[in-house]
């Protein structure tokens, strides 16, 4: 039933999208690993300026989908286009000028400092002979300032807390000056204060964002549109109001819940039920 | 965490290197003092005998030591960075054992004693041996990005063992004189240095240094992991193969003229990292200078420690290098605890 619902929604969406060229479009994407379908026939597109959330239980294929989009893995079948051009036909460096990625976990070796890490955001925009100019140094300073890490810019990246690391990586993304920002579970392992801070920071950049989330309520409040993956398939695609309903939550996440509008911006807010209790009248 | 100014470090290392090379020229079997050395360098009114010793023996030898130290240290820095393994060093990947196989097979099958063969053919044999090792390694590590580091490291260790086994087997059937000669050679020595030996390693060292200076941002990007480097537009697989190729060529050219000198490539990059962030553009140059400086003094020690005899360089780097390194780690540990 959910699948049928989802396909209806995506038809509705795709008729809307024919007006202008989408910034990113994924068409009939398949990815197989060890002969298993990790991603099955995924199609969607993202318009400039949208803030899109990617949801799904563990192992649904969220990270794999994002990895296909930022070219870490090559899909088995299907097309990913950026501004109408296949991403595999754009040079890797050109693509990095358009798209910045904040990974879920970033290891750091040999004691790089915070400003070392942020300066790496300059890489896609510089040629090999290029010396870092004063303007670029200023850009790095500004980005560190923006994520309020100025006091720790000389510290080792490795010794930061999870939230601070995420902020530093967002600063790196800011330096990269991309048109599209991809974040793979930017809020996991963070205190709620920093979860909100990170997302508001990403939103304040005013660029297109595609981010995966564990916390459905957070996604519901902040995202313009939600994509829901389940077992490698895209099962819903629409505004939080369209997507989040009890049936889908039960089907995809295996939880019973009650949904009420959030007092602040009327986005659907989920309350989960625990143990064996059923959901009464619905 | 913040550290030395790279520019100050650079200036002092350049000065120290110059002074060290000068004073290293004054040490050796023949009694020549510093004044005579300076006289010979300016080619002004010194005895032709002194001049000849300085220009034909000690100068190429000292410069070779400097290039070898610098080259091995830079190769170590490159391999540690692209594999993100702090234990990587130029010999981990079987390049020196490949060279040893080349020499040993050449000596064994040419039938001549190691001192009767032309030096050049010995170097060529060693170089070919290293190239074979390198080709095998590159063939194995051309795989997908995700498994590249792992297969590089494992294949390197396997190749080292394979080559050591071949060397041992060949030596087992060779005469004792050849064994001791080959053994001395595998432990490293600059005693055979001549001007022509400097050409290839010198050119390669400059090329490698220039290329990592140009690619320094890509180089640093790898320290945050492959996935992150790819999102910054680095073609990680190709970049890593290029670095492996360059560092192997450099190492092979050095091994073929001065034998296997362990530990410099492993240690010097770490010593520099204790004081200066690896992301600094000057870091590769500093690593090179410090490696060269270290090796010049190691060579001096190898000439001085035993009267009328030379100690293999590899023994000294191992001995003093590890003691110094352990001391540095101990001090750093204490600094952290305070």
Q: What is the pLDDT of residues B181-194, one digit of tens each?
A: 677 667 888 887 88
pLDDT bin (cut points 50, 70, 90) of residue A12 is very low
B233: nearest CB among A72, A92, A113:
A92
Residues near A82 by beta carbon (within 8 Å), at least 6 away in sequence: A23, A24, A90, A95, A98, A99, A180
- Contact by Cβ (8 Å): A143, A174: yes
Residue B33, in any domain of the structure? no
Q: DSSP of A140-156, one letter per residue?
A: HHHHHHHTT-GGGTTSB
CB contact (8 A) between residue B86 and residue A103: no
Residue B128 has pLDDT above 80, yes or no: yes
pTM > 0.90: yes or no: no
Q: What angle do CA A52, A123, A61 make, to 5 degrees?
A: 35
Q: SS3 of B299, please?
A: helix
B225 inside 8 A of chain A by CB = yes
* B45 within some domain: no
The mean per-residue pLDDT over the stretch B107-128 comes to 72
Total structural domains in chain B?
1
Give the model confidence (pLDDT) of B266-282 as tens digits.
889 998 988 888 888 89
Give residues 163 to 182 of A whose Cβ lies within 8 Å of B: 176
Alpha-carbon gap: A130 to the closest alpha carbon of chain B (Å) = 8
Query: Contacts of residue A107 in chain B, CB cutoff 8 Å?
Result: 84, 224-225
Q: Does residue B270 fall inside a structural domain?
A: yes
Chain B CB contacts of A128 below 8 Å: 214-215
Q: How many angstroms separate the CA atoms of A67 and A88, rounded?
A: 13
Q: Which residues of A touch B228 (CB under 8 A)?
A: 101, 103, 106
Residue-range domain boundaries for chain A:
10-281
Nearest to A103 among B214, B221, B227 (CB): B227
Best mutation target, B4, B144, B231, to test chain A (most A CBs within 10 A): B231
Contact B221 A71 (CB under 8 A): no
Q: What is the predicted pLDDT for the residue at B168?
A: 85
CATH, residue B88: 1.10.3470.10
Classify the C-alpha dihedral B253-B258-B261-B265 as positive or negative: negative
Contact A88/B at CB under 8 A: no
Q: What pLDDT is stored for residue B46 in this prediction?
A: 64
Residues of chain A positioned with their CB less than 8 A from the CB of B232:
96, 120-121, 123-124, 176
Q: Which residues of B touch A121 (CB under 8 A)?
A: 232
B242 touches chain A (CB under 8 A): no
Q: Which range of residues forms the domain containing residue B202?
A: 65-337
Residue whose tokens read 């490291």 = B153
* Residue B228 and residue A103 in contact, taking contact as beta carbons nearer than 8 Å: yes
Binary contact (A129, B218; C-beta < 8 A): no
Q: Is residue B285 part of a domain?
A: yes
What architecture (CATH level 2) is domain A10-281? 3-Layer(aba) Sandwich (3.40)
Report helix, strand and coil shares of chain B as percent, to nearest 5. 75, 0, 25
Q: How confident is the model at residue B294 (pLDDT cuts 50, 70, 90)?
A: very high
The beta-carbon neighbor of B232 closest among A116, A124, A155 is A124
The reply to whether residue B279 touches residue A72, judged by beta carbons under 8 angstroms, is no
**Residue B201 lies inside a defined structural domain of this protein:** yes
Interface A–B counts its CB contacts (< 8 A) at 88
Beta-carbon separation of B233 and A70 below 8 A:
no
Q: What single-letter DSSP state applies at residue A27?
A: E
A119 vs B contacts (CB less than 8 Å)? 279
Q: How far is B212 from chain A (nearest CA, A)?
A: 10
CB A96 within 8 A of CB A70: no
Distance CA B284, CA B28 (A): 31
C-beta atoms of B277 and A120 within 8 A: no
Helix axes B6-25, B34-41, angle to 10 degrees: 100
Residue A236 host element (H or E): strand A233-238
Three-state DSSP state, B234:
coil
The answer to whether residue B58 is domain-embedded is: no
Q: Is residue B192 part of a domain?
A: yes
Q: Summarize the confidence of residues B124-130 as an average pLDDT.
A: 86
Nearest CB among B84, B214, B232 relative to A109 is that of B84
For a pLDDT cut of 90, what percent of chain B falls above it?
A: 30
pLDDT at B139 over 80: yes
Closest by CA position to A112, among listed B2, B326, B77, B256: B2
Chain A residue with CA closest to B216: the answer is A128
Contact A128 B81 (CB under 8 A): no
Distance set, CA A66 to CA A56, A193, A229, A279 (Å): 13, 25, 12, 34
Per-residue pLDDT tens over the stretch A171-229: 999 999 999 999 999 888 788 888 898 899 999 999 999 999 989 999 999 999 999 99
Phi, psi torsion values for A212, nearest 5 degrees: -95, 150
B234–chain A Cβ distance below 8 A for any pair: yes
Mean pLDDT of chain B, nearest integer: 84
Give A154's contacts in chain B (Cβ within 8 Å).
1-2
Minimum mean pLDDT among A239-248, B50-59, B118-127: which range? B118-127
B114-153: b (≥16 Cβ within 10 Å) or e: beebeeeebbebbbbbbbbbbebbbebbeeebeebbeebb
Closest Cα in chain B to A157: B224
Instruction: Evaluate whether A251 touches A241 at the Cβ level (below 8 Å).
Output: no
The verdict on A109 touching B (C-beta cutoff 8 Å) is: yes
Mean pLDDT, residues B35-39 taken together? 74
């Amino acid at each position: 039933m959910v699948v049928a619902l989802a396909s209806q929604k995506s038809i509705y969406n795709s008729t809307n999208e024919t007006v202008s060229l989408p910034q990113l479009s994924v068409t009939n994407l398949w990815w197989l690993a060890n002969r298993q379908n990790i991603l099955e026939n995924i199609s969607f597109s993202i318009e400039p300026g949208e803030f899109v959330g990617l949801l799904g239980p563990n192992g649904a294929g969220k990270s794999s989908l994002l990895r296909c989009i930022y070219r870490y893995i090559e899909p088995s079948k299907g097309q990913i286009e950026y501004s109408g051009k296949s991403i595999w036909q754009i040079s890797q460096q050109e693509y990095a000028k358009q798209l910045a990625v904040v990974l879920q976990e970033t290891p750091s070796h040999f004691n790089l400092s915070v400003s070392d890490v942020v300066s790496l955001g300059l890489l896609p925009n510089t040629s090999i002979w290029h010396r870092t100019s004063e303007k670029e140094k200023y850009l790095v300073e500004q980005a560190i300032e923006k994520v309020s890490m100025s006091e720790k810019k000389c510290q080792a990246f490795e010794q930061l807390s999870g939230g601070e690391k995420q902020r530093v990586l967002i600063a790196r993304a800011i330096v990269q000056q991309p048109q599209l920002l991809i974040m793979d579970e930017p809020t996991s392992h963070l205190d709620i204060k920093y979860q909100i801070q990170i997302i508001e920071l990403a939103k304040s950049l005013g660029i297109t964002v595609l981010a995966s989330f564990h916390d459905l309520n957070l996604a519901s409040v902040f995202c313009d549109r939600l994509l829901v993956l389940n077992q490698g398939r895209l099962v819903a695609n629409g505004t939080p109001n369209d997507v989040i309903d009890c049936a889908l939550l039960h089907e995809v996440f295996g939880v019973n819940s009650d949904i009420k509008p959030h007092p602040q911006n009327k986005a659907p807010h989920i309350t989960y039920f625990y143990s064996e209790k059923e959901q009464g009248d619905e | 965490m913040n550290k030395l100014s790279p520019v100050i470090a650079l200036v002092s290392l350049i000065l120290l290197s110059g002074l060290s090379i000068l004073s290293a020229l004054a040490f050796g079997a023949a009694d020549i003092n510093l004044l005579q050395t300076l006289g010979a360098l300016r080619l002004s009114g010194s005895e032709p005998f002194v001049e000849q010793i300085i220009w034909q023996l000690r100068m190429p030898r000292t410069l070779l030591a400097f290039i070898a130290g610098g080259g091995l240290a830079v190769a170590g820095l490159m391999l540690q960075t692209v594999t993100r393994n702090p234990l990587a060093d130029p010999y981990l990947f079987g390049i020196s054992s490949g060279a040893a196989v080349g020499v040993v097979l050449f000596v064994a099958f040419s039938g001549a004693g190691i001192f009767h063969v032309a030096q050049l053919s010995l170097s060529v044999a060693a170089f070919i041996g290293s190239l074979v090792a390198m080709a095998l390694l590159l063939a194995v590590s051309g795989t997908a990005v995700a498994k590249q580091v792992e297969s590089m490291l494992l294949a390197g260790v396997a190749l080292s063992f394979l080559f050591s086994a071949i060397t041992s087997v060949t030596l087992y059937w060779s005469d004792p004189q050849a064994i001791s000669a080959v053994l001395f050679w595998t432990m490293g020595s600059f005693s055979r240095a001549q001007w022509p030996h400097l050409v290839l390693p010198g050119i390669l060292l400059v090329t490698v240094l220039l290329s990592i200076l140009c690619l320094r941002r890509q180089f640093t990007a790898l320290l945050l992991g492959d996935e992150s480097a790819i999102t910054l537009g680095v073609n990680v697989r190709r970049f890593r193969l290029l670095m492996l190729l360059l560092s192997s060529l450099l190492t092979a050219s050095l091994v073929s003229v001065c034998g296997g000198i362990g530990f410099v490539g492993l240690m010097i990059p770490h010593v520099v990292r204790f004081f200066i962030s690896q992301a600094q553009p000057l870091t590769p140059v500093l690593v090179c200078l410090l490696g060269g400086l270290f090796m010049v003094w190691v060579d001096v020690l190898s000439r001085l420690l035993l009267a009328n005899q030379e100690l293999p360089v590899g023994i000294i780097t191992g001995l003093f290098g590890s003691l110094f390194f352990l001391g540095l780690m101990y001090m750093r540990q204490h600094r952290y605890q305070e």
